Amino acid sequence: MSYEIKEANREHAPLERRFLKFSLPFESFIDSQIVAGVALLVSATAAILMVNFGGLHSYEELNSLKLAMSLGDWNISHSIHYWINDGLMVLFFFILGLEIKYECLVGALSDFKDAVLVIIMAIGGMVFPALIYSGIIWISGADAHQGWGIPMATDTAFAIGILTLLGSKAPRAAYVLLTGLAIVDDMGAVAVIGFFYTEQIILSSLLWAGITLITMFAINLVGIRKPLFYLVGGVFLWWFILQSGVHATTAGLLAAIMVPTRPYTNKRRFRYKMQKIVEDFQKIDMPSTPILENEQQHALVVQAEDIAKQTTAPILRWGYTLDKPVSLIILPLFAFLNAGVMLPTMIPEFKDTVVSIAIILGLVLGKGIGISFFAWLGLKMGMLRLPADVQFSHIVGIGFLAGMGFTMSLFISALAFEGQPALIEQAKLGILLGSLIAGIIGTVILLFISRE
């Protein structure tokens, strides 16, 4: 619930009214659910245009540009591409971990019957794409079997963004199903990254990572809710996991699991304290005196802010704080540095497109058919139930929307084909086309259903 500020209650700066005419629509767009998808789309498009219209050399130079940090004899230097993929993307996985924990506690995965539906759908949406990809690669004889995990994931930003644009044409329960499905998909993708795209394990570093994780858990148990402790613990956890051979982004997910869910104080104290503050505020209020001249009133407002923070759950507050920087800065940077692909100017030979074809069919048919078939099978066996207002045709539409793998698929492709630029290019093209086709089919299906 939000409370708009009435014009009579505003303290306008001299030029603020004119500025608001331009800024308010922009602020409303930034706060909408589609902004993350739009930011990803713009970034990916910019990368593709840059690569295909004379900027390939500059694009490659930007990706390989070195960023170094040093202190005395200590020095660490990596490319911008590395810092984004192995560094800043940890924050994306951290938010993903917060969402997983929240959904398991009170969200779409908290109710057993609803969770079973989502999990069964997600399993179908992971198994079928992997099988289709592996089958095509096996038939073709191409040496690209390690890419089987690429078409397994769902890009929540794009999929939820399309549902938001559809508005009332998609039932509210569809959002819950798709969100839960994407969460389970991402859990599977993280597991795939951790277990199958790790070349060598250094046990000593992994042991230190375990000790750090246990320490963060103990900090949670004793009731410490200061972000600084979890930030420091998260940095150490990232470093140790990075050195262990397991992909560093796993640290984000593990750190999120340690985040406290209980607020510092209960709702009763919040209600009592806020009422007391309002009463004290009214006692010393002088309508003609601005708050700038009344330090006592200002102190009461600051106290109210502190009480509000103490009453909110860290898992929600920290997620809201990081959501916009991650979705509007980090993910677009990742998309720009990873989505640049040279589009073919002529029809290539099959051997040069087999990875692209396998990914496209995995994302489109694998997701659409896999999710729908597993849901149908579960319903026929009496294991599942559909939410109110949701028809099986909605499940089909959601299944195809889930084929928009973009962010996580690009991430896995970089791991699967590391050191194989030709295969990475094929994978990028397949991810872009597959996500586009799946999104269009899913949208058309949901629009068609809404007209019935």
Domain that holds residue 411: 33-198+247-262+313-450
Whole-Å CA distances, 270 to 8, 299, 310, 311, 361: 28, 17, 9, 7, 53
pLDDT mean over 250-279:
89
The two counts, helices (H) then strands (E), for the chain are 20, 2
Question: What is the C-alpha to C-alpha distance for residues 157 and 175, in angstroms, rounded to an integer?
Answer: 12
In a domain, 6, yes or no: no
Mean pLDDT of the chain, nearest integer:
84
Provide, rounded to the nearest whole percent, the portion of the chain with pLDDT above 70.
90
Residues 271 and 335 in one domain: no
The confidence score (pLDDT) of residue 11 equals 66
Q: Are 84 and 337 in contact (CB under 8 A)?
A: yes
Question: What is the C-alpha to C-alpha distance for residues 286 and 304, in angstroms, rounded to an integer?
Answer: 19
In a domain, 224, yes or no: no
Residues 256 and 323 in one domain: yes
Residues 98 and 115 in one domain: yes
Confidence tier at 98 by pLDDT (50, 70, 90): confident
What confidence tens digit (pLDDT) does each residue in 276-331 have?
Answer: 999 998 888 887 788 888 888 889 999 999 998 889 888 988 888 888 888 888 88
In a domain, 10, yes or no: no
In a domain, 227, yes or no: no
Residues 255 and 140 in one domain: yes
DSSP 279-304: HHHHHT--TTS-GGG-HHHHHHHHHH
Residues 320 and 289 in one domain: no
- Checking if the pLDDT of 27 tops 60, the result is no
pTM of the model: 0.79
Residues 305 and 318 in one domain: no
Per-residue 3-state assignment (H helix, E strand, C coil) for 88-110: HHHHHHHHHHHHHHHHHHCCCCC
Count of domains for the chain: 2
Residues 139 and 91 in one domain: yes
Angle, helix 421-450 to helix 354-361, in steps of 10 degrees = 30
Residues 180 and 271 in one domain: no
Residues 296 and 376 in one domain: no
Residues 413 and 346 in one domain: yes
What confidence tens digit (pLDDT) does each residue in 130-149 have?
Answer: 999 999 999 988 888 999 99
Q: What is the CATH number of the domain that holds 358?
A: 1.20.1530.10
Residues 40 and 181 in one domain: yes
Confidence tier at 29 by pLDDT (50, 70, 90): very low
Residue type, 112: F
In a domain, 253, yes or no: yes
Residues 147 and 293 in one domain: no
What confidence tens digit (pLDDT) does each residue in 107-134 have?
Answer: 767 777 777 888 888 899 999 999 999 9
Torsion of CA 133, 138, 144, 147, to 10 degrees: 30
In a domain, 393, yes or no: yes
In a domain, 105, yes or no: yes
